[in-house]
């Protein structure tokens, strides 16, 4: 089936596609248990990774097809040499309404000022525990103080808002973290978000029983602090709640217990130029090969349109016969 020739990207299920997640590297300086083994994973060779010029060109083609929101991910994007220079290139593309980055925060203290100067709009920082020993347990790195300094460094720039703190919710671990994260949300202007543990770990240790659902986390919070839900924005991944007394926000991203596939507007581009139409795709479309073989923008756009037209209806996590993607989260891009 070939996608009809329409101006903006739309899949066969009628969903308009406007959000692109771009992985700039598969490398990471952490070894989070829900993502990769302690010894790490084989890294892509330098020649396999898209250059800044190639990323800029592909993003420009996507924007020409209606993409408005671009999020830069990894691996850990800040380990990519001269990463703020890439941000500046992309910020100059007319048509991008929101340019953001998801980071583990380890290098954020170093790069915060450069990222703001380059034109970043928003930042998400992944922090799974606010206790130093438990942070080490999850990430296998004694890095919490440096991450928190990075969070403060980016928060000092008022042009970068909102700043979101993401925590993966895992049974028998996150229950002890909830109170501290609620307090962080109530004493700062960070939006703290809990993300259900997904089957994207390289060790293939995920099980349904390991998922601490958003509803369970919310119940733990509401033992002390009643919450009031905000109206969900179209295609938003998170259900966002205000504390009833008006002090802070909490979000819940529930892809396992409450899939939000029906109005998904997202695509992903891996570090080596593979287009993924779902986080859990088992198929990818190579954009690097036509790009390096001299294809014109219209030819690349046609490849993108055809892939998007075949975008999956839903991810099937937790259903009989579900197959996790062959890549882990670090290789896909968050």
Q: How many Cα atoms are found within 13 Å in the side-chain-facing hemisphere of 229?
A: 8
- The residues with which 42 forms a beta bridge, in sequence order, are none
Domain ranges of the chain: 19-332
Looking at residue 319, its pLDDT comes to: 64
Of 76, 47, 136, 141, the C-alpha closest to 331 is: 76
- Give the residue-averaged pLDDT of 310-322: 77
**Average pLDDT, integer, range 10-17:** 96
Give the pLDDT of residue 330: 65
Burial of 136 (0-12, 13-18, 19+ CB in 10 A): middle
Pairwise CA distance, residues 210 & 197, whole Å: 7
State the pLDDT at residue 328.
64
Is pLDDT above 70 for 204? Answer: no
Dist CA 308 CA 262 (whole Å): 15
Say if CB 97 and CB 141 are below 8 A apart: no
Instruction: Identify how many contiguous H helices and E strands the chain contains and give both numbers.
Output: 10, 12
d(CA 325, CA 307): 17
29-38, 87-96, 153-162, 267-276: which range is least confident on average?
Answer: 29-38
Q: Work out the pLDDT band at 38, boundaries 50, 70, 90.
A: confident
List the one residue out of 56, 60, 54 whose CA is nearest residue 95. 60
CATH architecture of 19-332: Alpha-Beta Barrel (3.20)
So what's the pLDDT on residue 36? Answer: 78
Long-range contacts of 258-263 (CB under 8 A, 24+ apart): 258/214, 259/314, 259/315, 259/317, 260/236, 261/312, 261/313, 261/314, 261/315, 262/314, 263/15, 263/234, 263/235
Instruction: Return the minimum-mean-pLDDT range out of 47-51, 105-109, 145-149, 279-283.
Output: 279-283
**Mean pLDDT calculated for residue range 14-33:** 94
Instruction: Tell me what the pLDDT averaged over the chain comes to.
Output: 92
pLDDT of residue 5 exceeding 60, the answer is: no
């Amino acid at each position: 089936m070939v996608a009809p020739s329409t101006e903006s990207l739309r899949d066969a299920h009628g969903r308009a596609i406007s959000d692109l997640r771009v992985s700039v590297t598969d490398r990471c300086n952490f070894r989070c248990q829900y993502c990769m083994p302690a010894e790490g994973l084989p890294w892509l060779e330098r020649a396999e990774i898209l250059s800044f010029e190639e990323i800029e060109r592909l993003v420009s083609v996507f924007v020409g097809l209606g993409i408005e929101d671009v999020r830069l991910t990894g691996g850990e994007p800040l380990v990519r040499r001269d990463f703020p220079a890439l941000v500046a290139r992309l910020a100059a593309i007319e048509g991008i309404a929101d340019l953001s980055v998801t980071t583990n925060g380890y290098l954020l203290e170093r790069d915060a000022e450069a990222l703001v100067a380059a034109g970043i709009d928003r930042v998400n920082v992944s922090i799974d525990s606010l206790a130093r020993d438990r942070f080490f347990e999850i990430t296998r790195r004694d890095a919490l103080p440096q991450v928190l300094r990075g969070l403060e460094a980016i928060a000092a720039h008022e042009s970068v808002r909102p700043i979101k703190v993401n925590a993966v919710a895992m049974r028998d671990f996150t229950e002890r973290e909830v109170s501290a994260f609620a307090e962080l949300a109530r004493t700062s202007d960070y939006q703290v978000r809990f993300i259900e543990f997904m089957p994207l770990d390289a060790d293939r240790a995920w099980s349904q029983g390991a998922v601490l659902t958003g509803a369970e986390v919310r119940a733990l919070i509401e033992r002390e602090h009643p919450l009031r839900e905000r109206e969900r924005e179209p295609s938003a991944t998170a259900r966002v709640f205000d504390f009833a007394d008006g002090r802070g926000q909490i979000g819940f991203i529930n892809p396992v217990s409450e899939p939000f596939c029906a109005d998904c507007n997202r695509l992903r581009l891996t570090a080596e130029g593979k287009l993924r139409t779902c986080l859990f795709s088992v198929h990818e479309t190579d954009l690097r090969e036509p790009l390096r073989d001299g294809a014109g923008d219209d030819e690349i756009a046609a490849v993108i349109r055809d892939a998007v037209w075949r975008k999956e209806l839903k991810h099937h996590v937790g259903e009989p016969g579900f197959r996790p993607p062959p890549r882990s989260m670090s290789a896909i891009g968050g």
